[in-house]
Amino acid sequence: MKQKKPWGGRFAKQTAASVESFTESVSFDWRLYQYDIEGSIAHATMLARCKLITEKEKDAIIKGLQEILAEINSEKFKFRESLEDVHMNIESALIERIGEAGKKLHTARSRNDQVALDLRLWTRDQAHKMIRLLTLLQRELVKKGKMYFGLIMPGFTHLQHAQPVLLSHYLLAYVEMLERDKARLQDCCVRLNRSPLGACALAGTTLTTDPVMTAKLLSFDGVCENSMDAVSDRDFCVEYAFCLSMVAMHLSRLCEEWIIWCNDEVKFIEISDAYCTGSSIMPQKKNPDVLELIRGKCGRVFGHLTSLLTLLKGLPLSYNRDMQEDKIAIFDAADTVQTSLSILAELVANTHFHEEQMMAACEKGFIDATALAEYLVKKGVPFRMAHEIVGKIVRECIRVQCKLMDLQLGGFKAFSSVIEEDVYKVLGVENCIKNYRSYGSTAPGFVKKRIAYWEKKLSKG
């Protein structure tokens, strides 16, 4: 049987089946049900206080909505495509259940402010979930940083050996990035946290309502100041998609690195068998597919950000149906980043770092050359000149195939007379690490303090 449309009064013909399936959104926006019901309960409470419905009607509405919520939660509720979206499915079910009182729920409300509300509530909740997941990943990184404290690896620039760093320092770099991601999500919630309810279709209402009350009931910091903006604004979706893109980009950088780190040439890490997959033809293979997929899924997340911007760029005020597409983008972006974050946290916990390989790599690439240049600076040589001298020393070492520390003092003196026996106290990766002093550097003392700082901060949740 065809469902009667809540907006059917003006229509002489039934909606074409093709139009129903083309315009429906319930197949994806059903996941807003919890927020839709929460919003409707607040709205009904406000309507009763403003005497637009009676206390009895309000109670019937709330009871009915709570029953519907329970039904959806236990997967007994049947969403119907013919009722278009989550909002009309729930409202129709309410009317079926409680009759006349149900027909009053949509007083002083439009689906335009309703959907804007639901989406804000969903995004606010999601952002907080994402922050918790970021914390879990940070904790795993800090745990590894503590476990491997003291382990030295070559730091890279241009993917070439550059200067030695502590593995812990490298891991904590990601902890810093993720902390910024969390702050960005918090900040997104500041602008998002205003209630659009009361804007109705676009212009507000001639009825006496109290949007401030609904905003309070739903824990918003205030009400949107302009009804046209309230129903047209999806900035918070774009901002959220950007926050997610930034997270995805950070994860992808780590993944790219670790993919390189587990290949046969580098072998800095060994990922547990449980977090790798094999090849259908090459029996010996163990591939880092999880890392590759996190890197790959980044494309989807960036794509959703672009979709949202493109979706909005040509939209005249106020509501346009195009905006229904926002949910597809934002839901998938959130799902993708959420699963990537949680699986990466597991993978980090299940990764072993090869000390010998990292140490062996440190022997290559003259990564103590900068320390030697700074040694010359301490002896009074202007830095630009020190750079030139050490460059020449390195060239000589390449020629005779030795490390900097293998040169005899006489060999050094041929390049600079200020070099003394104490030069051997700055050469070699261990000495380099020991001698770092600047704030935020990889100096073991600083790194140790930072590990303690993060442990304490992240234990709070």
Q: Which residues are catalytic?
A: 158, 279
DSSP 287: B
Choose among 242, 234, 239, 237: nearest CA to 317: 234
In order of 82, 124, 194, 215, 373, the CA distances from 118 in angstroms are: 21, 10, 12, 13, 60
In order of 33, 84, 117, 205, 379, the CA distances from 110 in angstroms are: 16, 15, 11, 10, 76
Residue 347 token pair: 């993978």
Q: Smallest gap, in angstroms, from Cβ of residue 14 to ligand ARG?
A: 18
With beta carbons less than 8 A apart as the criterion, state whether 437 and 371 touch.
Answer: no
In whole angstroms, what is the distance from residue 401 CA to residue 407 CA? 10
Residue where the block lists tokens 């009895």: 56
With beta carbons less than 8 A apart as the criterion, state whether 60 and 70 touch.
Answer: no
With beta carbons less than 8 A apart as the criterion, state whether 416 and 397 touch.
Answer: no
Residue where the block lists tokens 């690896």: 153
Beta bridge partners of 223: 195
**Closer residue to ligand ARG (CB): 113 or 257:** 113
With beta carbons less than 8 A apart as the criterion, state whether 154 and 361 touch.
Answer: yes
In whole angstroms, what is the distance from residue 453 CA to residue 440 CA? 13
DSSP 380-402: T--HHHHHHHHHHHHHHHHHHT-
**Closer residue to ligand ARG (CB): 42 or 311:** 311
Burial 110-133 (b: 16+ CB within 10 A, else e): bbbbbbbbbbbbbbbebbeebbeb
In whole angstroms, what is the distance from residue 61 CA to residue 117 CA? 19
Q: Smallest gap, in angstroms, from Cβ of residue 114 to ligand ARG?
A: 7
**Closer residue to ligand ARG (CB): 119 or 301:** 119
With beta carbons less than 8 A apart as the criterion, state whether 84 and 115 touch.
Answer: no
Q: Smallest gap, in angstroms, from Cβ of residue 23 to ligand ARG?
A: 8
**Closer residue to ligand ARG (CB): 315 or 409:** 315
**Closer residue to ligand ARG (CB): 89 or 442:** 89
Look at the chain and count its residues: 461
**Closer residue to ligand ARG (CB): 24 or 239:** 24
What is the Cα 393 distance to its own chain's centre? 46
Q: Smallest gap, in angstroms, from Cβ of residue 29 to ligand ARG?
A: 6
Residue 89 token pair: 């499915």
Residue where the block lists tokens 């950007």: 242
Q: Smallest gap, in angstroms, from Cβ of residue 261 to ligand ARG?
A: 44
**Closer residue to ligand ARG (CB): 322 or 363:** 322
DSSP 43-55: HHHHHHHTTSS-H
In whole angstroms, what is the distance from residue 353 CA to residue 167 CA? 9
Q: Smallest gap, in angstroms, from Cβ of residue 155 to ligand ARG?
A: 49
**Closer residue to ligand ARG (CB): 331 or 424:** 331
Q: Smallest gap, in angstroms, from Cβ of residue 124 to ligand ARG?
A: 18
Q: Which residues would be at the binding site for ligand ARG (CB under 6 A)?
A: 25, 29, 85, 111-112, 115, 319, 321, 323-324
**Closer residue to ligand ARG (CB): 25 or 336:** 25
Q: Smallest gap, in angstroms, from Cβ of residue 321 to ligand ARG?
A: 6
Residue 123 token pair: 């995004």
Q: Smallest gap, in angstroms, from Cβ of residue 98 to ligand ARG?
A: 23
Residue where the block lists tokens 């990889």: 442
